[in-house]
Amino acid sequence: MSALAKVSGIAVRGGQSAPKQRRARPRAWRVAILVFAAIFYLLPLLCAIKFSLINQKGHYGVQNYTVIANNSTLRASLFLSLEIAAVTAAVVVLLVFPTAVLVRLKLPKLTILMEAITILPIVVPPIVLAAGLLQMKETAPLWIVNDFFNHPMTILAPMYVVLAMPLVYRAIDTGLRAIDLHTLVDASRSLGASWPRTLLRVVLPNVQTAVLGGMFLTIAMVLGEVVIANLLDQSTLTFPLQMIQFASQDNAPGISVALTLMALAFTFLLLFMLTFLSRRRGAQSAGVI
Amino acid sequence: MTTDSSSPSVDAKAPAPPVVAAAATASRVGVQFTGVQRHFGTVTALRGLDMEIQPGELVALLGPSGCGKTTALRLLAGFDRPDAGTITVAGRDITSVPAHKRDMGMVFQAYSLFPNLTVRENVAFGLRMRRVSKEQRLRRADELLELVGLTDTNRYPYQLSGGQQQRVAIARALAIEPTVLLLDEPLSALDARVRLQLRAEIRSLQQRLGITTLFVTHDQSEALSIADRVGVMNFGALEQIDTPEYIYHYPATAFVAEFVGAMNRVRGRIAEGGAVVVLGQRVPLTNADSHAPGTAVEALLRPEVVQAVPDAGGPGEIRERMFLGSSVRLRVALDGADDILVEAPSPSSELPIGARVGLKILTDGITVADPRTPAVAVPEAP
Amino acid sequence: MTGPAAPRRRGIRLRRASAPGSTPTVRGRTGAGRIAWLGMLPFLLYMAVFLGLPLYVVVHGALTSGGHFTLSNFSAIFSQSQYLTPLKNSLILALWTSLGPAILGLGIAAAVIAGPADGLLRRVVSSASGVFAYFAGAPLAFVWVAALGTLGVITVFFKSAFGYDLSQHFDISSQAGVGICYFYFQIPLMVIFITPALEGLKPEWEEAARNLGARRRDYIRHVAAPVLAPSFIAATLILFGSSFSAFATMLALDGCTQTVVPCKVNLEMSNNVLTNSIPLGLALGTEMILVVGIVMIGYWYVQRRAGRWLR
């Protein structure tokens, strides 16, 4: 009877094998290096927080944070940058997503070339790009100068697409590698879906966290880019340039720090929440790494 | 079917290579698992495993995914520590000995060759860890690679096929002259043909070297064909450990009966004198002691011990016919009972679909199961 | 399975297994028709216009003076110390702000991926890496100044608590100060680039090594390090390129008074007084492209070797 009970008491399980158990105690070097990293990154941030809480009169207060609601120049520059960021993010995904799928699906030989192209904007100095643009501005016909070069949106957004391309491509490619792209596409096509439908309804939802992550990072980048914006000297300053201007006024460095912290926190929260949105549990991570 | 026991790469007339000669004189060790348990959170991978592997024996652990066979192997290898129980090798308790000191050779399922080392360097790796001189270890690596049938040894793993990679893995495990050889589903990732070939070679190699071996697999034909004894596991427990013939013909539990090969469950009734009446015939029982006469039971019958004979007034009708090459499998519907599977060698079975047949039982010992429960009591270890 | 038994034939006749509708060829599944190549056009065109064109303009402008081809710009920047010093400074700065973060980034990445993939640590580091690596430049500079600048919290703390004036010994706008700030975004960049390679280290290798008698340091020395080396070098090269081109941080920290190449480019390009400054600026830009080009070639070569083993 007991033997029978032993057998019938076994819970019925699915066919999963026992999970590989990680070491229970973290090794010393792991702890050490993570502690170092924590200090290295948190300390300056904490200092920045303290710094930002000192208002212009030298006392503690949150004025530096509320200034954004009051100062119209700052508001304008923030909206401008956010606009540019939105356009950039949309364009870059539109450009990169089909291309990434194409390369992985049909043209795998181009992978190395694509990797090279996507490294370029990271290593090519933005200053050089800006210099080239400036030069083009000098020699371009007037109508181009008026229509393109003189408006922040039209000249900055396309360039930002180039700068954002590496991170978005990398994010999407990582997402595509994690799914069985060939099988998904074959299944969808054999059921009668057209190519656009397949991309939009089948592939995209499966890499949505990667795409969103890429877009968030693009926003982060746009909110911090100063090189090209600076050299092209627009009438309305973008957000980061405005921050620098505030900093150079010696009674308001706290504002810039406060704004930076807000931008950092905002982007971090977006990315962090994104890691919970992933459909894959367990063995797959859902973030940038 | 007998397996060919000569390794294809060694000429029978040439003297045995040094590695084989050395192993023949090496001492053989036995392995003992005593009450070994392993839990992963709420999941129990092993519940009190008691198992002994005789010196020089090849034991195959067979079972479905999650049954604990891989866990048992990894515990023996030292990659994991049991929550309770002990493991002894040659009488010595090795439960707390770290993996790199256990002196066992392991062959993984796939991807285990070091990609940055050539085949030769891979095989010599274990000897390098033991501070053997470069000249000596490379020479020994060459010997072993010859033994497993590989000639081009300066290639890298990525240049080899799956079967070749596993040969290298075997040579690498043997290079350190381990006391125990461990194989974790080494053939599962290979093509069917390569699998069959390598299976025979592994067995012949193991027998020539006389090395105590634990072989984990989910493929029952693999286990049955190469093992000295087969241990069938389910849900973390060892249900039966016996020779392949015994496992097949005299399964101790319903799980073993149904996991290994196809099995029919036919209703019958216990009769006097340690027999059961089923399909209108009286057949002696193998496990009569647990059942009183008159009890309704289910007899466990292999398809090949049931024969279908043409009989216009018979109780069965052929519904399906599956041609399996060397045999034919028929699905016979019985009046007032479940379908039954019958298997016969091809030339002797010409019965068409729809024919009415009678059934004859060809064996002289049947195991029965209690029809009320899906599994019968787990027997004590033999 | 079903159906009556086939009529028996006398003897056995072997037939070839070929059939008209045989399994689809590999090419049918992954074959690239013309349309596929056309699909690459939008991306390639866009890059050509918005990335290639400015670069071309720079190189073109560097090679012309007064409308005709000349190499005088290059001879100028490679001979005069006002241009050679920034180059030297840039290269040295890039060197230590790529090697240092490379090693630290490797350590952090290794420490993080040893934990569970969906654990809190991994999530935090993943999000933080993305933020810091791509925010880079100006924003981080502000954080840095807030901490270690002349009025920075740490500086003030040291002055009041220990009477030690940090700003005397450590200038945030010096090359060293800026360099340490670079670490802030270079380390996450390394973490992002090296993590895939670290995850590519199969657990079977470590277990097989242990089984064969290797201690952890033996495994690292003989297997893990050699396998990781190409990816590590590739990632470090990227870091080098990124550091060499970094300019925003300098700009934000002190308005770019440092003598490094990007600042020189900026100087020349905005200089409206001297007539020859623009082509010189462009020549400097070309010089930067050259350095980056060498980095890219190194990267490509290393990646090819890495791919070979890990196919």
Distance from CA of A122 to the nearest CA of C (A): 6
Q: What is the pLDDT of residue C249?
A: 67
**Dihedral over Cα of C238, C243, C244, C245: its sign:** positive
A142-173 pLDDT, tens per residue?
777 777 777 777 788 888 999 999 889 988 88
- Cα–Cα distance for residue pair B298/B266, rounded to 1 Å: 5
Three-class SS state of A118: helix
Chain A residues near residue C262 by CB distance under 8 angstroms: 125, 127
* DSSP state string for B353-378: TT-EEEEEE--S-BEEE-TTSSSPPP
Kindly write down the DSSP assignment for every residue of B299-329, as one continuous string: EEE-GGGEEEEE-TT-SEEEEEEEE-SSEEE
In the chain, the amino acid numbered C7 is P
- pLDDT for the residue numbered C167: 61
- Is the Cβ pair A3, B68 closer than 8 Å? no
Residue B40 pairs in a beta bridge with B43
Chain centroid to Cα B193, Å, comes to 18
**Sequence-distant (≥ 6) Cβ neighbours of residue A13 within 8 angstroms:** B43, B66, B235
Among C135, C297, C308, the residue to mutate for chain A (most A Cβ within 10 A): C135
The structure tokens listed for B70 are 């891989």
A257 touching chain C per CB within 8 A: yes
d(CA A37, nearest CA chain C) in Å: 7
For residue A130, pLDDT over 70 is answered with yes
Which residue is closest to A104 within chain C, CA to CA?
C30
Among A30, A172, A212, A285, most C C-beta atoms within 10 A, so best to mutate, is A285
Residues 6+ apart with CB under 8 A from B332: B308, B316, B317, B318, B319, B339, B340, B341, B342, B357, B359
Measured between CB atoms, which of A6, A10, A15 is closest to B64? A15
pLDDT of B198 reads: 93
Q: How much is the mean pLDDT over chain C? A: 77
- CA dist C76 and C88 (Å) reads 16
The answer for C 97-116 residues in CB contact with A (under 8 A) is 104, 107-116
User: From the CA of B105, how many Å to the nearest CA of chain C?
Assistant: 7
How many contacts, defined by CB atoms under 8 Å, are there between A and C?
310
Cα(C1)–Cα(B329) distance, rounded to whole angstroms? Answer: 9
Report yes or no on whether pTM surpasses 0.90.
no
Choice among A28-32, A93-97, B144-148, B158-162 with the minimum mean pLDDT = A28-32
Q: In this predicted structure, what is the pLDDT of residue B20?
A: 59
A18 Cα to chain B: minimum distance (Å): 6
Q: Which residues of B touch A21 (CB under 8 A)?
A: 40, 80
Which residue of C4, C214, C223 is in closest CB contact with B353? C4
CA distance C22 to chain B (A): 20
Which residue in chain C has the smallest CA separation from A250? C151
Place of tokens 């893995």: B169
CB contacts, 8 Å: B103 with chain C: 213
Single-letter residue type at B73: L
Measured between beta carbons, the chain A residues lying within 8 angstroms of B64 are 15
Model ipTM value: 0.78
CA dist B297 to A38, B15, B262, Å?
A: 68, 59, 19
Range from A252-256, C44-48, C60-64, C153-157 that averages highest in pLDDT: C44-48
Query: How far apart are alpha carbons A133 and A148 in whole angstroms?
Result: 11
User: Chains meeting B at 3+ CB pairs closer than 8 A?
Assistant: A, C
Closest-CA distance of chain B to residue A9, Å: 11
Q: How confident is the model at residue C207 (pLDDT cuts 50, 70, 90)?
A: very high
**C220: chain B residues, CB-CB within 8 Å:** none
The number of angstroms, rounded, from the C-alpha of B62 to the middle of its chain's C-alpha atoms is 5
Q: What is the model's pLDDT at position A9?
A: 29
Q: Is residue B377 within 8 angstroms of chain A, CB to CB? A: yes
User: Over 70: is that where the pLDDT of C20 sits?
Assistant: no
Do residues A124 and C292 lie in contact, with contact meaning Cβ atoms separated by under 8 Å?
yes
Tell me if C129 sits within 8 A of A289, measured CB to CB.
yes
By CA distance, what is A165's nearest residue in C?
C47
Closest CA to A18 of C203, B238, B45: B45
Tell whether the model's pLDDT for residue C11 goes beyond 50.
no
Higher-confidence residue of C179 and B76: namely B76
Which chain C residues are Cβ-neighbours of B108 within 8 angstroms? Answer: 204, 207-208
For residues B81 and B278, give the distance between their C-alpha atoms in angstroms, rounded to a whole number: 48
Q: Which residue has the higher pLDDT, B117 or A139?
A: B117
Chain C residues near any Cβ of chain B (below 8 Å): 1-5, 202, 204-205, 207-215, 218, 222-223, 226-227, 308-311
**Shortest Cα distance, chain B CAs vs residue A4, angstroms:** 5
Nearest residue of chain B to residue C212 (CA atoms): B126
pLDDT at site A241:
78
pLDDT value of residue B377: 32
Nearest to B45 among A6, A15, A18 (CB): A18
For chains B and C, what is the number of CB pairs under 8 angstroms?
91
The answer to whether residues B65 and B185 touch, using CB atoms and an 8 Å cutoff, is no
| B378 lies within 8 A of chain A by CB | yes
| Residue of chain B with shortest Cα separation from A19 | B40
Residues of B in contact with A282 (CB under 8 A): none
Which among A17, A20, A22, A23 is the top mutation candidate for probing chain B, defined by the most B β-carbons within 10 Å of its own β-carbon?
A17
Structure tokens at B212: 């105590």
Question: What count of CB pairs under 8 Å joins A to B?
Answer: 38
B31-40 sheet: strands from edge to edge: B43-53, B31-40, B84-89, B92-93
Question: CB distance from A205 to chain C under 8 Å?
Answer: no
Check C288 against A243: CB less than 8 A apart: no
Beta strand spans in chain C (E) = 64-65, 68-69
Per residue of chain B (382 residues), give pLDDT as tens: 333 444 444 444 445 556 655 555 556 889 999 999 999 888 899 999 999 999 999 999 999 988 999 999 999 999 999 999 999 999 899 999 999 999 899 999 988 999 999 999 999 999 999 999 999 999 999 999 999 989 888 999 999 999 999 999 999 999 999 999 999 999 998 999 999 999 999 999 999 999 999 999 999 899 999 999 999 999 999 999 999 998 888 787 778 888 888 888 888 888 888 788 888 888 888 765 667 788 888 888 888 888 888 888 888 888 888 888 888 888 888 887 778 888 888 776 678 888 888 888 888 777 777 665 453 333 333 3
Residue in A29, A108, A123 closest to C295 by CB: A123
Using N-to-C axis directions, what is the helix angle for A253-275 and C137-148, rounded to 10°? 120
Does residue B194 sit at the A interface (CB-CB below 8 Å)? no
Distances (CA, A) of C69 to A128, A136, B19, B271, C72: 20, 18, 74, 110, 9
Give whole-number Cα distances, C202 to B110, B114, B184, C199, C206, in Å: 10, 10, 16, 7, 7
A16 — contact with chain B (CB < 8 Å)?
yes
Q: Angle at Cα B172 formed by Cα B168 and Cα B174, nearest 5°? A: 120
With an 8 Å Cβ cutoff, are A10 and B64 in contact? no
Tell me the per-residue pLDDT of C264-287, one tens digit each, with 9 for 90 and over. Answer: 676 766 665 555 667 777 777 788
B322 touches chain C (CB under 8 A): yes
Contact B66 A21 (CB under 8 A): no
Q: Are strands B296-301 and B264-271 parallel, antiparallel or unpaired?
A: antiparallel
Of C204, C218, C223, the CB nearest to B111: C204
Task: Give the mean model confidence (pLDDT) for residues A63-80.
Answer: 77
Can you tell me the mean pLDDT for C93-121?
A: 90
CA distance B373 to chain A (A): 8
Q: What is the mean pLDDT of residues C123-143?
A: 81
Quote the minimal CA–CA distance from B353 to chain C in Å: 7
B40 in reach of chain C (CB within 8 A) = no
